[in-house]
């Protein structure tokens, strides 16, 4: 098996290093990741400048671009083969509910999926890398268990609780939860007195009920949500068609 690995926390992040180390024994791996932390990059492509690709001493490729740039460049410019699987992560912190729209971790996997390749995004339920090697070993189990089990291509969003490996025993299929609207920006002054704004934290969970990713992870279960890309609002399409008729 040949696996392309990317992330949004950058090629030096503990999460991608743990994931690469865990997958190396079961696959030929290629790592192509951003040169710095690009969390929140969503599916952005850099169209206003060229991208450069460098290779670190450990063989990882790093790119001065977004997660989507990395997978796009890897699939169309670096690799001379089509990988069997694209994996992204392991992200520092959760990517659940509405967060998945902003996530660079999910976006890297999505780019593989858009090229018709099975893809899995991995995130840890809590920030801070606690038990990251356990999460990576668990991620390898998931790849081994489910890689061939689903119709292709698929796009899976996986959130793993920060727990010792022995306690990562339950994996459940979930739907995305929902959040309330985000907290406001945080206004401050730069050293020259000019107004600046920090993007504030995400909103509190609104739908975190049973069956959601939020609910599973909060109860110590590994959450897997199958994602799709078609944003069409099917029922409104009918209403719109009638309104325009
Ligand atoms: Mn991140």
pLDDT at 192: 98
CA of 237 to the centre of ligand 1 (A): 34
CA of 131 to the centre of ligand 1 (A): 17
Residue 94 near residue 208 (C-beta atoms within 8 A)? no
CA of 90 to the centre of ligand 1 (A): 8
Backbone φ, ψ for residue 66 (5° rounding): -85, 170
Residue 15 near residue 95 (C-beta atoms within 8 A)? no
pLDDT band at 54 (very low <50, low <70, confident <90, very high): very high
Backbone φ, ψ for residue 76 (5° rounding): -110, -10
Residue 136 near residue 158 (C-beta atoms within 8 A)? no
Q: Has 98 been labeled as part of a binding site?
A: no
What are the tens digits of pLDDT across the range 88-133?
Answer: 999 999 999 999 999 999 999 999 999 999 999 999 999 999 999 9
CA of 103 to the centre of ligand 1 (A): 7
Integer Cα distance of 226 and 160 in angstroms: 15
CA of 94 to the centre of ligand 1 (A): 9
Fold of the 2-177+207-233 domain: Stationary-phase Survival Protein Sure Homolog; Chain: A, (3.40.1210)
pLDDT at 18: 98
Backbone φ, ψ for residue 54 (5° rounding): -125, 160
Q: Has 123 been labeled as part of a binding site?
A: no
Residue 2 near residue 31 (C-beta atoms within 8 A)? no
pLDDT at 104: 98
What are the tens digits of pLDDT across the range 197-218?
Answer: 999 998 999 999 999 999 999 9
For the residues 54-68, what does the mean pLDDT come to?
98
For the residues 171-183, what does the mean pLDDT come to?
95
Question: What percent of the chain lies above the pLDDT cut of 70?
Answer: 100
CA of 11 to the centre of ligand 1 (A): 11
Integer Cα distance of 181 and 173 in angstroms: 25
CA of 9 to the centre of ligand 1 (A): 4
pLDDT at 41: 95
The residues facing 157 across adjacent strands are 121, 225
What are the tens digits of pLDDT across the range 2-38?
Answer: 999 999 999 999 999 999 999 999 999 999 999 999 9
Residues constituting the chain: 245
Burial code (b: 16+ CB inside 10 Å, e: under 16) for 14-44 equals ebbbbbbebbeeebebbbbbbbeebbebbbe
Q: What is the pTM of this model?
A: 0.96
pLDDT at 36: 98
pLDDT band at 171 (very low <50, low <70, confident <90, very high): very high
Residue 93 near residue 124 (C-beta atoms within 8 A)? yes
CA of 245 to the centre of ligand 1 (A): 45
Q: Has 58 been labeled as part of a binding site?
A: no
For residue 234, count CB atoms less than 10 angstroms from its CB and return exposed for 0-12, middle for 13-18, buried for 19 or more: exposed
Conformational region of residue 106, where left means phi above 0, alpha means psi within -120 to 50, and beta covers everything else: alpha
CA of 8 to the centre of ligand 1 (A): 5
CA of 32 to the centre of ligand 1 (A): 15
Q: Has 69 been labeled as part of a binding site?
A: no
């Amino acid at each position: 098996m040949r696996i392309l690995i990317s992330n949004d926390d950058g090629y030096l992040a503990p999460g991608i290093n743990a994931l690469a180390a865990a997958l190396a024994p079961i696959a030929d791996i290629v790592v192509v990741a951003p040169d710095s932390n690009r969390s929140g990059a969503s599916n952005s492509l850099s169209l206003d400048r060229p991208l450069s690709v460098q290779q670190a001493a450990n063989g990882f490729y790093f790119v001065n671009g977004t997660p989507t740039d990395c997978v796009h460049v890897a699939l169309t410019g670096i690799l001379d083969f089509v990988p069997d699987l694209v994996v992204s992560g392991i992200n520092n912190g959760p990517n659940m509910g509405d967060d998945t729209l902003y996530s660079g971790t999910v976006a890297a996997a999505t780019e593989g999926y858009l090229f018709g390749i099975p893809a899995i995004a991995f995130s840890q339920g809590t920030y801070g890398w606690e038990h990251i090697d356990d999460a990576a070993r668990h991620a390898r189990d998931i790849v081994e268990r489910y890689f061939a089990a689903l119709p292709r291509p698929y796009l899976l969003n996986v959130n793993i609780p920060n727990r010792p490996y022995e306690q990562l025993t339950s994996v459940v299929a979930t739907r995305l939860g929902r959040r309330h609207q985000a907290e406001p920006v945080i206004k401050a002054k730069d050293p020259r007195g000019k107004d600046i704004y920090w993007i504030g934290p995400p909103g509190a969970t609104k739908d975190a009920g049973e069956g959601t990713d939020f609910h599973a992870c909060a109860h110590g279960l590994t959450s897997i949500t199958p994602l799709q890309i078609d944003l069409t609002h099917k029922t409104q399409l009918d209403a719109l068609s009638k309104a325009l008729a």
